[in-house]
Chains A and B, each alone.
Chain A
Amino acid sequence: MDLQQSLWLIFPEIIIIITIIVVVLAELILPPQKRHQTGWFAATGLVAAFFVTLNLFKVDTAAEFFGRMVVHDAWSLFFKLFFEISGFLIVIFSLGSKETRGKNQGEYYALLLAVIMGLIFMTSATDLVMILLAMETVGILSYVLVGFNKASSRSGEAALKYLIYGATATGVMLFGMSYLYGLTGTTNLFDIADSIAQSETGFTLTVIMLFILVGFGFKIAMAPFHMWCPDVYEGAPTPITAFLSVGPKAAGFALLLRFFFSTLTQPALDGAFTVVGTFKWPLLIAILSAFTMTVGNLSAITQSNVKRLLAYSSIAHAGYMLMGVVVLHTAGLRAILFYLIVYLFMNIGAFMVVAAIRDGIGSEEIDDYKGIGRRMPFAPIMLALFLFALTGLPPLSGFIGKFYLFFAVIDAGIYWLVTVAIINTVISLYYYARIVKAMFFDEGSQTTPVPVTPLQIIVVSISAIPTLILGIYWAPIIDFAEQSIQMLM
Chain B
Amino acid sequence: MDNILTLMIFIPLIGAAGIIFIPGRYHEYIKAVGAIAAAIPVLLAIPLYMQFDPANPELQFVERFSWIPAYNIEYYLGVDGINVAMIILTAIISFIAIIASWGINDRVKGYFALFLLLETGMMGVFCALDLVLFYFFWEVMLLPMYFLIGIWGGPNKEYAAIKFFIYTLIGSVLLLVAMLAMYFSHGHSFDMISMAQSNNFLNHAPISLFGWALPFAKTLYIMLFICFAIKIPMFPFHTWLPDAHVEAPTAISVILAGVLLKMGTYGIFRLCFPIFPEITKAFGYGIAVFGVINIVYGAFVAMAQSDLKKLVAYSSISHMGFCLLGMAAVTAEGYSGAMMQMFSHGIITSMMFLSVGVIYDRAHHRQIDGFGGLAKQMPIFATVTAWGFFAAMGLPGLSGFIAEILVLLGSFEAYRFFVFLAATSVIITAAYLLWTIQRMFLGPVNEKYKDLPEINGRELFTLVPLGIITLIFGIFPTPVLNLFHNALANLATIVAG
A: which residues have CB within 8 A of B? 388, 393-395, 399, 403, 406-407, 410-411, 413, 415-416, 418-419, 422, 425-426, 429-430, 433, 437, 440-442, 474-475, 478-479
**Beyond A395-B139, A440-B147, 20 extra complex contacts between A and B, CB < 8 Å:** A388-B143, A393-B142, A393-B143, A395-B140, A406-B180, A410-B184, A413-B208, A416-B209, A429-B165, A430-B166, A433-B146, A433-B162, A437-B150, A437-B158, A437-B162, A440-B151, A441-B157, A441-B158, A441-B161, A442-B158
Measured in the bound complex, the distance between the Cα atoms of B71 and A432 in whole Å is 30
Interface string of B150-177 (1 = CB under 8 A from A): 1100000110011001100110011011
Q: Is B282 an interface residue (CB 8 A)?
A: no
Q: Is B50 an interface residue (CB 8 A)?
A: no
Give the residues from 81 to 114 in chain B that come closer than 8 angstroms, CB to CB, to chain A: none
Measured in the bound complex, the distance between the Cα atoms of B166 and A418 in whole Å is 18
Q: Which residue of A lies closest to B210 (CB)?
A: A416
Report A-chain residues with C-beta under 8 Å of the C-beta of B173: 422, 425-426
Number of contacting residues on B, CB 8 A? 32
The distance from the CB of A431 to the nearest CB of chain B, in whole angstroms, is 11
B170 touches A426 (CB 8 A): yes
The distance from the CB of B422 to the nearest CB of chain A, in whole angstroms, is 34
Measured in the bound complex, the distance between the Cα atoms of B146 and A440 in whole Å is 11
Report B-chain residues with C-beta under 8 Å of the C-beta of A410: 177, 180-181, 184
Q: Which residue of B lies closest to A399 (CB)?
A: B139
Report A-chain residues with C-beta under 8 Å of the C-beta of B1: none
Cross-chain contact of A406 among B143, B151, B176 (Cβ < 8 A):
B176
B174 touches A394 (CB 8 A): no
Measured in the bound complex, the distance between the Cα atoms of B163 and A433 in whole Å is 11
Interface centre among B71, B146, B210 (most CB of A within 10 A): B146
Given A393-B142, A410-B181, A426-B170, A419-B135 contact (CB < 8 Å): no
Report A-chain residues with C-beta under 8 Å of the C-beta of B181: 410
Report A-chain residues with C-beta under 8 Å of the C-beta of B207: 413, 415
Q: Give 10 closest A-B pairs by Cβ, nearest first.
A: A422-B173, A394-B139, A410-B180, A441-B150, A394-B136, A415-B209, A441-B158, A426-B169, A415-B207, A426-B170
Measured in the bound complex, the distance between the Cα atoms of B139 and A385 in whole Å is 14
Q: Which residue of B lies closest to A419 (CB)?
A: B209
Measured in the bound complex, the distance between the Cα atoms of B69 and A479 in whole Å is 12
Measured in the bound complex, the distance between the Cα atoms of B161 and A440 in whole Å is 12
Given A395-B136, A399-B139, A415-B207, A422-B177 contact (CB < 8 Å): yes
B: which residues have CB within 8 A of A? 68, 70-71, 135-136, 139-140, 142-143, 146-147, 150-151, 157-158, 161-162, 165-166, 169-170, 173-174, 176-177, 180-181, 184, 207-210
B174 touches A441 (CB 8 A): no
Measured in the bound complex, the distance between the Cα atoms of B180 and A478 in whole Å is 18
Measured in the bound complex, the distance between the Cα atoms of B150 and A430 in whole Å is 14
Measured in the bound complex, the distance between the Cα atoms of B48 and A12 in whole Å is 59
Given A410-B181, A437-B150, A441-B158, A422-B208 contact (CB < 8 Å): no
Report B-chain residues with C-beta under 8 Å of the C-beta of A395: 136, 139-140
Measured in the bound complex, the distance between the Cα atoms of B157 and A425 in whole Å is 23
Measured in the bound complex, the distance between the Cα atoms of B139 and A426 in whole Å is 13
Q: Which residue of B lies closest to A374 (CB)?
A: B107
Report B-chain residues with C-beta under 8 Å of the C-beta of A475: 68, 70
Measured in the bound complex, the distance between the Cα atoms of B132 and A406 in whole Å is 13
A415 touches B208 (CB 8 A): yes
B139 touches A393 (CB 8 A): yes
Measured in the bound complex, the distance between the Cα atoms of B92 and A276 in whole Å is 63
Measured in the bound complex, the distance between the Cα atoms of B176 and A430 in whole Å is 19
Q: List 9 interface pairs A-B (beta carbons < 8 Å), by A numbering.
A: A394-B140, A403-B176, A406-B180, A411-B184, A413-B207, A416-B210, A422-B176, A429-B166, A475-B70
A478 touches B209 (CB 8 A): no
Report A-chain residues with C-beta under 8 Å of the C-beta of B146: 433
Report A-chain residues with C-beta under 8 Å of the C-beta of B142: 393
Q: Which residue of B lies closest to A422 (CB)?
A: B173
Measured in the bound complex, the distance between the Cα atoms of B147 and A395 in whole Å is 16
Report A-chain residues with C-beta under 8 Å of the C-beta of B162: 430, 433, 437
The distance from the CB of B106 to the nearest CB of chain A, in whole angstroms, is 10
Measured in the bound complex, the distance between the Cα atoms of B149 and A441 in whole Å is 10
Report B-chain residues with C-beta under 8 Å of the C-beta of A415: 177, 207-209
Interface centre among B71, B143, B181, B209 (most CB of A within 10 A): B143
Cross-chain contact of B151 among A403, A441, A474 (Cβ < 8 A):
A441
Measured in the bound complex, the distance between the Cα atoms of B210 and A155 in whole Å is 44
Interface centre among B150, B174, B210 (most CB of A within 10 A): B150
Report B-chain residues with C-beta under 8 Å of the C-beta of A406: 176-177, 180
Measured in the bound complex, the distance between the Cα atoms of B165 and A422 in whole Å is 15
Measured in the bound complex, the distance between the Cα atoms of B207 and A285 in whole Å is 21
Report A-chain residues with C-beta under 8 Å of the C-beta of B174: 422
Measured in the bound complex, the distance between the Cα atoms of B165 and A433 in whole Å is 9
Report A-chain residues with C-beta under 8 Å of the C-beta of B158: 437, 441-442
Report B-chain residues with C-beta under 8 Å of the C-beta of A430: 162, 166
The distance from the CB of B255 to the nearest CB of chain A, in whole angstroms, is 19
The distance from the CB of B295 to the nearest CB of chain A, in whole angstroms, is 30
Q: Which residue of B lies closest to A475 (CB)?
A: B68
Measured in the bound complex, the distance between the Cα atoms of B183 and A407 in whole Å is 9
Measured in the bound complex, the distance between the Cα atoms of B180 and A208 in whole Å is 37
The distance from the CB of B227 to the nearest CB of chain A, in whole angstroms, is 11
The distance from the CB of A254 to the nearest CB of chain B, in whole angstroms, is 24
Report A-chain residues with C-beta under 8 Å of the C-beta of B70: 475, 478-479
Q: Which residue of A lies closest to B211 (CB)?
A: A416
Measured in the bound complex, the distance between the Cα atoms of B289 and A263 in whole Å is 57
Report B-chain residues with C-beta under 8 Å of the C-beta of A442: 158
Q: Which residue of B lies closest to A428 (CB)?
A: B169
